Amino acid sequence: MPIIDVHRLEKTFPIKKHRTGAMGSIASLIRGDNGGEFTAVNNVSFKIERGEMVGYIGPNGAGKSTTIKMLTGILVPTSGEATIAGLVPWEKRKQLAQKIGVVFGQRTQLWWDLALIESLELLRHLYRVPEERFRENLATATDLLGLGEFLHTPVRQLSLGQRMRGDLAAALLHDPEILYLDEPTIGLDIVAKEAIREFLITLNRDRQTTVLLTTHDLDDIERLCPRIIVIDHGEVMYDGQLASLKSRWGGRRQLIIDYAGDPDAAIASMGNGDMAVTEVDGPRVTIAFDRDEISAPDVLTRASAFGEIRDMSIQEPEIEDVIRRMYDGSIPAGM
Amino acid sequence: MDKPITLREELGIAWKIAGIRLRGQMAYRTSFWLQIFGNFFTNFAEVLALFAMFYQFDTLGGWTLGEVALLHGISMIAFSLGDLLTVGMDSVAPQIRSGDFDRVLTRPLGSWMNAATSEFSLRHLGQALQGVLVLGFALTQVEIAWSIDKALLVPVMFISGIALFMALFTIEAIFSFWTVNGVEAINAFTYGGSDLAQFPMHIFGRSLRFIFFWIVPVGFITYYPALYLLEKPDPLGMPDWFVLLGPVITTIFCAVVSWGWNQGIRHYRSTGS
Ligand SMILES: Nc1ncnc2c1ncn2[C@@H]1O[C@H](COP(=O)(O)OP(=O)(O)O)[C@@H](O)[C@H]1O
Ligand SMILES: [Mg+2]
């Protein structure tokens, strides 16, 4: 049985008409905000098995956070169903909270006015974590996330990266089965990002924690998520392996060739549909080719007619490109 | 831990959280005491007004200074402790506006309990202390022929009073699930109610009495218990057993407020980032 099972989930928000003043509030109380409706999440379905690490990606405003909020029980959906670890989130919110960890990149779960360690202590009581388990988890988190240097610093004085690490530790104190991460690396420097990625990989490997991660950062996806769900305008556009997304639709790889000298100028018009020279820069030539149409050695053989080849390298398609092309509509949506 | 959390466990957790937060605040000891004293003195004017009034008149609607002080004491204690236990409700409206309320809903605690404990402050002890002093003064002035039923009435009276004010403070927060402004109007009932409850209800006009007995039932938490303790006849002509209506009406009131809170939670929209 999938640990996350989402079926035709939909969420609409009323579009606010701005009324002001006390009369305005009373009017909106009585009549509701009748400015029409906006569909933030539309007919979203997916299943995630225990132990999977899935990237939930899409441009700003796609409906990622809204989905996560329904799967934690923060928001009640307009229609549709979801079962998370056997529970309907918005009906069994309290019980579910014990089984999930939530990290919102832009919002801390910690108490601003308390030292990090005190916040963690508080959460220990909130989640009824046995003392011994708490110590173990704290030790692991301190070790892997390097919390030691700022455990006793008030949360409001932590840097974004430190706070994020604190939040991660906090979300995992009670050994959740599922971890939701909404933009966990937003605004972080490379080092902090990397620390968090390493940590998540370890967590997923050692504890089989199921991870659902939204992000803008496609490096996060490349490093962490074998499977991605792409969403845009509230609808699922792709659900499957990252690798097959790349190979099926990101088809165009690039071959970069360094000639010993400047190649024959005719190279610019080499190829016909199966490959194309995209750039000639002195002795360096970039050729894009479709791997379903032609193999790299064949491209190389044909390129060798234009000069002596000294070196070459192949670039896999960038996930950015693939997804950008998907949004542009140049890739058919769906599986 | 698959069992749903019990109310007892929730209370235990709330207690521990309060303890940890208190420890945090005690780090700033001076500011801590200043807050309590500040709160003590802000409410001092009320007490002065009471004494000033009786400097002019001997009785108020047939009640002596000591008797009215009894009402004051009960109302102040119930109000301030109700306020103390729901300090977090004040931050519900801003949390809803900013979307920070999200985190209240990701915790394994009832949303009300969690919201109520999201802030913690003992400053209201200042007013509670003042209530205790006023009550102490009242007890030196009035004769109460203590009996078992009267002794039993006292805790019932305080518990329903505190619960009623907790519910009133919750109402303001409930409204903020639907509207961002204009909720201050609700305050008029909470603060106005606690003020009215400090006086014998029969001195007020029919419509005020109606509101503060049957809509915001503060009249039942001070007036009838006081009549009963003092064995005074009710100028409003209600039967003796009206003293028992306090807890009953408070229970109904709390049930309605709790229903409203749950509707609010279901209506919560969070914010787009
Ligand atoms: N509480 C809300 N009220 C009104 N509109 C909202 C609310 N939350 C999100 N939205 C809108 O729904 C859309 C999806 O938002 P969101 O789920 O936050 O997107 P993402 O996380 O993918 O950037 C956006 O257009 C956003 O403005
Ligand atoms: Mg978002």
Beta strands in chain A (DSSP E): 4-14, 37-48, 53-57, 79-84, 100-104, 178-182, 210-215, 227-232, 235-241, 252-259, 275-281, 284-290, 309-315
Whether B171 is in a domain gets the answer yes
Q: How many CB pairs under 8 A join A and B?
A: 99
Alpha carbons B228 and B224: distance in angstroms, whole number: 6
3 state SS of A245 = helix
ipTM above 0.90, yes or no: no
If you measure from the C-alpha of residue B78 to the centroid of ligand 2, how many angstroms do you get, rounded to a whole number? 43
Q: Which residue of B has its CA nearest to A77?
A: B266
Q: Please list every residue in chain A whose beta carbon sits closer than 8 Å to the beta carbon of residue B13.
A: 125-126, 128
Which residues are registered as beta bridge partners of A107? A104
Atom of ligand 1 nearest to the CA of A62: 22
- Please give the pLDDT value at position B47: 85
Q: Which residue has the higher pLDDT, A112 or A248?
A: A112
With a 6 A CB cut-off, is A234 part of the ligand 1 pocket?
Answer: no
**Number of domains chain B is built from:** 1
Nearest atom in ligand 1 to the alpha carbon of residue A66 is 17
**DSSP H helical ranges for B44-124:** 44-56, 65-84, 92-98, 101-104, 111-116
Q: What is the pLDDT of residues B72-114, one digit of tens each?
A: 999 999 999 999 999 999 889 999 989 999 999 999 999 999 9
Residue B136 within a domain: yes
- Which DSSP letter does residue B202 get? G
Please check whether residue B26 lies inside any domain of the structure. yes
Q: Distance from the CA of A200 to the center of ligand 1, in angstroms?
A: 26
Other C-beta atoms closer than 10 Å to the C-beta of B29 total 9
Cα gap A186→A205, rounded to integer Å: 24
Centroid of ligand 1 to alpha carbon of B82 (angstroms): 37
**Range 25-84 of B in CB contact (< 8 A) with A:** none
Q: Two tokens at A151?
A: 């455990």
Q: In the predicted model, is pLDDT for residue A335 greater than 80?
A: no
For residue B148, what pLDDT is reported?
Answer: 95
Residues of B in contact with A98 (CB under 8 A): 1-2, 5, 108
Question: Per-residue pLDDT averaged across A171-195, rounded?
Answer: 92
Say yes or no: CB of residue A61 within 6 Å of ligand 1: yes
Q: State the DSSP H helix or E strand holding residue A325, giving kind and residue range, or none if neither.
A: helix A319-328
Q: How confident is the model at residue A334 (pLDDT cuts 50, 70, 90)?
A: very low
Q: What is the whole-number distance in angstroms between the Cα of residue A78 and the centre of ligand 1?
A: 14
Closest CA to B117 of B21, B9, B36, B6: B21
Q: How far is A49 from chain B (nearest CA, A)?
A: 20
Surface-to-core class of residue B219, CB atoms within 10 Å of its CB (0-12 exposed, 13-18 middle, 19+ buried): buried
Residue B140 forms contact with A (CB below 8 Å): no
Nearest atom of ligand 1 to the alpha carbon of A64:
22
Residues of chain B with pLDDT under 50: 1
A250 secondary structure, DSSP code: S
Which B residues 77-136 touch A at CB under 8 Å?
A: 99-100, 102-103, 105-111
Choose the weakest-confidence range: A49-53, A179-183, B118-122. Answer: B118-122
* pLDDT at residue A66 is higher than 60: yes
Q: Do A122 and B268 touch (CB under 8 A)?
A: no
User: What is the rounded CA–CA span in Å between residue A210 and residue A1?
Assistant: 13
Residue B118 belongs to a domain: yes
Verify whether ligand 1 is closer than 6 Å to residue A269 (CB atom): no
CB-based contact B222:B162 (threshold 8 Å)? no
> Average pLDDT of chain A?
87
- pLDDT for position A32: 55
DSSP secondary structure letters along A75-90: S--SEEEEEETTB-TT
- Please judge whether B109 and A109 are an interchain contact, meaning their C-beta atoms are less than 8 angstroms apart: no
- In this structure, of A76-85, A172-181, A188-197, the range with the lowest mean pLDDT score is A188-197
Residue B197 three-state SS: coil
pLDDT over 90 at A101, yes or no: yes
Write the residue with the smallest CA distance to atom 12 of ligand 1.
A40
Short-list A143, A294, A158, A130, CA closest to A206 = A143
Least confident of A20-34, A51-65, A253-267: A20-34
Indicate whether B273 belongs to any domain.
Answer: no
Contacts of B17 in chain A (CB under 8 A): 122, 125-126
CB contact under 8 A, B102 and A97: no
Q: What is the pLDDT of residue B31?
A: 84
What does the buried/exposed string (b/e) look like for A247-264 if buried means 16 or more CB atoms within 10 Å of the residue's CB?
bebbbbbbbebebeeebe
Is the model's pTM score more than 0.95?
Answer: no
- Using 50, 70 and 90 to split pLDDT, how confident is the model at A28? low
Are A82 and A5 in contact by the 8 Å Cβ rule? The answer is yes
With a cut of 70, say whether residue A250 has pLDDT above it. Answer: no
Domain that holds residue B232: 7-267
- Residue A264: what pLDDT? 87
| 240-259 of B, contacting A, C-beta below 8 A | none
Let me know if residue B272 belongs to a domain: no
| CB contacts, 8 Å: B269 with chain A | 13, 75
- Over residues B36-77, the pLDDT tens digits come to 888 888 778 888 888 888 888 888 989 999 999 999 999 999
Cα dihedral angle (A185, A190, A193, A197), rounded to 10 degrees? 130
A-interface mutation test, from B113, B263, B269, most A Cβ less than 10 A away: B269
